[in-house]
Amino acid sequence: MSADLATRPEAAAPVAGEPLLEVRGLRIAVPGADGPVDAVHGVDLRIGRGESLGLVGESGSGKTLTCRAVLGVLPGRCTVAGGTIDLGGTDLATLSAKGWRDVHALRIGAVFQDPASYLNPSQSVGRQLAEVLRIKTGLGRRAAKARAIELLTAVGLKRPEVVYDQIPAHLSGGMQQRAMLAIAISCDPQLLIADEPTTALDVKTQAEIVALLRGLRESIGLSLLFVSHDLAVVTELCDRIAVFQGGRIVEEAATADLLAGRATHPYTRSLLRAAGLETTVREDADVA
């Protein structure tokens, strides 16, 4: 990890228990045959400063829609139909396009499953990173390039000066994801949203990205919202876990409690078994 990242003022320890993100009664409507229908039903979430929360559940359970509502990038014709999304006193659900421009990168960073889809294929990754820095922070060309190389170093890319000049197609999937992480943290956001960032990677690279996310969180005090269908990965990275099923959170608990066999919902226990964590689940924890 770059010493520069680890010693900046933003890396100061967060205030214990202080909320950063609070989602209350979130409803998300999607197109239906007879008009909009709710796909997310009254979701409540809270992430403290410096805390990590994992969202898990099967495809279509509502976890990614919730994540994208927080980021303000819901798919076309999907809308926030109710509730509030408070980020440090700002209700994101009411922001204008200009308001979102002030939030993206500066307060929220994001990485997704397929980094190649979010990188310009014809421009070097370093220039893309430097461009974000110039637009969002006002750095000059030379300072932006120097900072970009620092960030590429911080996310574990070897020979960052070489990577700076390479287009995405010349990088492996893991290297592309590291470049996206560099862009995501470039403007010192308070919250990092990671939506299935390890799904398309091999096991070794997946472990490296998880370790990188953990290190970034610890060194610069990021709050993390991590979305995945892979409960085993989430348990390695997150303090708490919210389990989605059918557009609702059916259980939310500390990761340590779930691994100690204190899950109360049958669906949560089925996910633990599927992840190979069934040996820690108490069979007598079943509830009616």
Does residue 279 carry a pLDDT above 80? no
Q: What mean pLDDT do residues 136-152 have?
A: 96
> Which residue has better confidence, 230 or 126?
126
Question: Who's near 117: CB < 8 A, 6+ residues apart?
Answer: none
Which has the minimum average pLDDT: 143-147, 229-233, 279-283? 279-283
- The token pair that represents 153 in the structure block: 């170093």
Strand order in the sheet with 52-56: 108-111, 191-195, 223-227, 52-56, 240-245, 248-254
Q: Which of 160, 180, 41, 23 is nearest to 91 (CA)?
A: 23
Q: What mean pLDDT do residues 189-193 have?
A: 95
Q: What mean pLDDT do residues 6-29 have?
A: 68
- Could you tell me which residues are beta bridge partners of residue 80? 28
For position 7, what pLDDT does the model report?
Answer: 35
| 75-134 tens-digit pLDDT | 989 999 999 999 999 999 999 988 998 899 899 999 998 999 999 999 999 999 999 999
pTM: 0.88
Burial string for 201-237 (b: 16+ CB within 10 Å, else e) reads: beeebbebbbebbebbbebbbbbbbbbbbbbebbbbb
For position 177, what pLDDT does the model report?
Answer: 95
